[in-house]
């Protein structure tokens, strides 16, 4: 491993089967894809790849099956410079998704999570975590809970990618992270109110009152709404011509966790993450579309 800070990313790895189409269908119909690509996806796995691309050291902790999809996932993680610290789950199926991307860069995702995510976190090498920050998603709640609790005991920065998912997973994991970053659908599912309402802002503040350092909601082109030290603030998004939004949220979370590992403050980490996500939205493709450190520094300097 290099001397750069290690970010441990715990959660799901998915093989994405990406089809580009001109427009989404409005009724049952056959579509011809303009292009096809097979790429690494999954919230924690893609965040780990973003960390590595940005110059950090990334470690992925998540269950992968011993099927053909799993073989490809492990290969793609290694090619991206991500170390894997989770044993293969014998007899289990890996997660994969069918993704439609339209001409505006928006996407529809149909995911099969696979049976590997039922694995218990017993095989996690918590005694050898050796990370400067931890990022968890909500797709493998048992593993995320174990890693977040361990990281909190060590005093490490902990980040939760609180996307739409199982409500019990959100209820369990949100209180365990020091930095909670929701997607808009994830926040609505957790809080049952819109984030821009007075009640929504109060819910963000309540997380800080309960001990979180940051409680935020990513809102795409409307930027980030967040509570820090009990105060509500907004950070505008960088202007970008969106080509593909697939994976932008994962890049945001990975970049934010890396910034924390590098001991940046919350505002600097949010700006770094916003720049990284904006660059990703302006590009299409798989791992090659992830931003580099020079890309992000160039946008921030500009």
CATH of the domain at 234: 3.40.1190.20
Residue 263 has pLDDT above 70, yes or no: yes
User: Total structural domains in the chain?
Assistant: 1
What's the domain range around 56?
6-24+31-117+131-289
- Laid out side by side, the sheet with 14-20 consists of 35-41, 14-20, 95-101, 107-112
Considering the domain boundaries, does residue 208 fall inside one?
Answer: yes
- What integer pLDDT is reported at residue 2 of this predicted model? 45
Considering the domain boundaries, does residue 269 fall inside one?
Answer: yes
Considering the domain boundaries, does residue 302 fall inside one?
Answer: no
Take residue 124 and report the two structure tokens written for it: 């996690």
Considering the domain boundaries, does residue 301 fall inside one?
Answer: no
Rg (CA), the chain: 18
Bridge partners of 41, per DSSP, are 14
Considering the domain boundaries, does residue 122 fall inside one?
Answer: no
158-170 tens-digit pLDDT: 999 999 999 999 9
Considering the domain boundaries, does residue 35 fall inside one?
Answer: yes
Least confident of 4-8, 151-155, 217-221, 242-246: 242-246
- Output the pTM of the full model: 0.92
Considering the domain boundaries, does residue 169 fall inside one?
Answer: yes
Beta-strand pair 95-101/82-84: unpaired
Residue (of 147, 180, 162, 7) closest to 81 by Cα position: 7
60-114 tens-digit pLDDT: 999 999 999 999 999 999 999 999 877 789 999 999 999 999 998 888 999 999 9
Considering the domain boundaries, does residue 44 fall inside one?
Answer: yes
**What is the separation, in whole angstroms, between the first and last Cα of the chain?**
32
């Amino acid at each position: 491993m290099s001397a750069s800070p290690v970010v441990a990313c715990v959660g799901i790895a998915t093989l994405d089967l990406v089809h580009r189409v001109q427009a989404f269908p409005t009724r049952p119909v056959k579509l011809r894809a303009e292009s096809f690509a097979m790429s690494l996806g999954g919230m924690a796995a893609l965040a780990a790849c973003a960390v590595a691309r940005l110059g950090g050291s990334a470690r992925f902790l998540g269950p992968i099956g011993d099927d053909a999809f799993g073989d490809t996932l492990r290969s793609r993680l290694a090619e991206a410079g991500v170390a894997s610290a989770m044993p293969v789950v014998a007899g289990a199926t890996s997660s994969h998704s069918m993704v439609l991307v339209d001409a505006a860069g928006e996407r529809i995702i149909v995911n099969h999570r696979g049976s590997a995510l039922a694995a218990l976190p017993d095989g996690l090498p918590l005694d050898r975590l050796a990370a400067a920050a931890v990022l968890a998603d909500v797709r493998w709640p048992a593993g995320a809970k174990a890693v977040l609790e361990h990281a909190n005991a060590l005093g490490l920065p902990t980040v939760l990618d609180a996307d739409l998912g199982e409500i019990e997973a959100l209820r369990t994991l949100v209180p365990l992270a020091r930095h909670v970053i929701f997607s808009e659908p994830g926040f609505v599912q957790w809080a049952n109110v819109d984030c821009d309402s007075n009640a929504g802002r109060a819910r963000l503040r309540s997380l800080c009152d309960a001990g979180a350092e940051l409680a935020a909601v990513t809102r795409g082109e409307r930027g980030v709404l967040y509570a820090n030290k009990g105060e509500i603030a907004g950070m505008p998004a960088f202007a970008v011509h969106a080509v593909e939004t697939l994976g932008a949220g994962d890049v945001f979370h990975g970049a934010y966790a890396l910034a924390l590992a590098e001991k940046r403050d919350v505002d600097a980490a949010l700006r770094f993450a916003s720049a990284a996500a904006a660059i990703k939205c302006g590009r299409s493709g798989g791992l090659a579309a992830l931003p580099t450190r020079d890309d992000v520094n160039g946008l921030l300097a500009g």
